Structure 1
Amino acid sequence: MSWNVRGLNAPNKRRLIKSQLDLMKCDVLLLQETKLSCQGADFLFSKWKLWNFCVSPSVEASGGLAFLWNDVSTEFKLVVSTPLWMWALSSLHGKTVVFGGDFNAISSDDEKIGGILPNKRILGDFSAFIHNNDLVDCKTLNGLFTWTNRRKDLSQIAERLDHFLVSAAWISSDMDVVASVLPYAGSDHFPIVLSILDDRAPGRSSFKFEPMWF
């Protein structure tokens, strides 16, 4: 699961995130914009039993990343993280890559409604990044937009800013890769979930992780 939580300093927000994590039974949690220092993140996540974690602290009052995985997640490694928004993960054999997070970018005009027209340069750069790295943008099955300004009618702006990008070779393999949007829960970004099933073992996920900083 990937989620721009817009801060984890409030106790009610922390309880909300933990309840979502328990409900979804995810193997991996990618959080953006935690707004936590290293000390604050260590204090919080050390209380979440059965979960391992590594963090990138906030820059003053913005940003901050947290990568959490459970004890059975052992087949992937963290290869890069940006200071504010995104995680990149790779399989141990190096052939499968997953980028997940708030990219603050759309890949086509139909991924935004309302507000000013999309920035064509940013749109083009993001689309080129996907194409040049042989990635597939996993479209969510149950809704397009992942961010909204929470307004209605003509004042509403909604965009698909959060993405899972996976290796094209993985999509064409025996893996069934499905992305979905979760209901609104305390942030202007909706959580998104990537579910990966191995067709050779129906009903069981093979999407597991090992932490490693490069």
Structure 2
Amino acid sequence: MKIVSLNLRGWGNSAKRRRLSSLIKSGAFDMCLLQETKRTSFSDSMIHSLWGHKEVDWLAKESVGLSGGLLLVWNKDLFSFRFSFSGIGFLGICVEWKDGLLYIVNIYSPCSMAGKRKLWKDLIDFKSNHDTGEWCLGGDFNAIMSSDERRGSGSNVRKSERAEFSSFLEAMEVIYVPVLGKKFTWFSFDNSAMSRLDRFLLSDGFIQKGGISNQWVGNRDISDHCPIWL
């Protein structure tokens, strides 16, 4: 299973959408997780144009005002879809995969600490109240795991925030697989500040069953965030 995740910073004009479509087609991805679409609606024709063919399923969470918005797109024959779920800052699906369940969650975390805590708590509560399965969390977490994941302006993230983020990972039983490519995933306009905000967090079973060894941070192109390839 090949998955790409990208914070779009807006759906943009036709030129930006063509670049996005080219990125997706170049990697022949099975699934795409897009954050911050800033759109309130999508159509089959828009998704088919993005993906390059009609054999896809998709699910969207509308933006609120001029911010947010999540989109999941995947090849129809990838797995058997069971149900979707969502909350503040996330959109997920539960699917049947390799004789078990797999929960795939597209993340666009709020910037505020209160919003992050709400997102983390909601996902932990969801996990504790649903059938056991593997997990794949991907997207923009707006959080770092260690001080060396941020450089420049605002680099002094509180230890307590990093500790709470680590506690969330432990409760979800997901880990961070090694990163290849770029060290940081978000860059300010003048490159004076940079952070690793985007990532995939995976359960051990998903890593083993999927034969996953790493995640790749690609080049920045249509956004101030880099695409992440799993």
Contact persistence 1:106–1:161 (CA under 8 A): yes
Aligned residues: 189
Q: Distance in 1 between matches of 2:134 and 2:24?
A: 25
Distance 1:78 1:24, change over 3 A: farther
Matches within 5 A, 1:1-214: 1-38=4-41, 40=42, 42=44, 44-48=46-50, 49-50=53-54, 51-74=56-79, 79-84=84-89, 86-88=90-92, 90=94, 92=96, 93-94=100-101, 95-116=133-154, 117-152=156-191, 156-171=192-207, 175-194=211-230
1:212 is matched with none
Relative to the length of structure 1, the TM-score reads 0.79
**Identity score, percent:** 31
| Greater helix share, structure number | 2
After TM superposition, the structure 1 stretch with the greater mean CA deviation from structure 2, 48-57 or 100-109, is: 48-57
Q: 1:161 is matched by which residue type in structure 2?
A: L
Q: 1:158 is matched by which residue type in structure 2?
A: M
Structure of greater relative contact order (alpha carbons < 8 Å, 6+ residues apart):
1
Secondary structure in structure 2 of the residue aligned to 1:176? coil
Q: Distance in 1 between matches of 2:139 and 2:83?
A: 13
Secondary structure in structure 2 of the residue aligned to 1:135? coil
Q: How far did 1:44 drift?
A: 2.1
Q: How far did 1:138 drift?
A: 2.2
Q: Distance in 2 between matches of 1:34 and 1:46?
A: 16
Q: How far did 1:88 drift?
A: 4.3
Q: Distance in 2 between matches of 1:90 and 1:167?
A: 14
Distance 1:174 1:63, change over 3 A: closer
Relative to the length of structure 2, the TM-score reads 0.74
Distance 1:111 1:88, change over 3 A: farther
Q: 2:203 is matched by which residue type in structure 1?
A: S
Q: Name structure 2 gaps, 5 residues minimum.
A: 102-132
RMSD value, Cα: 2.2
Q: Name structure 1 gaps, 5 residues minimum.
A: 195-214
Q: How far did 1:82 drift?
A: 4.0
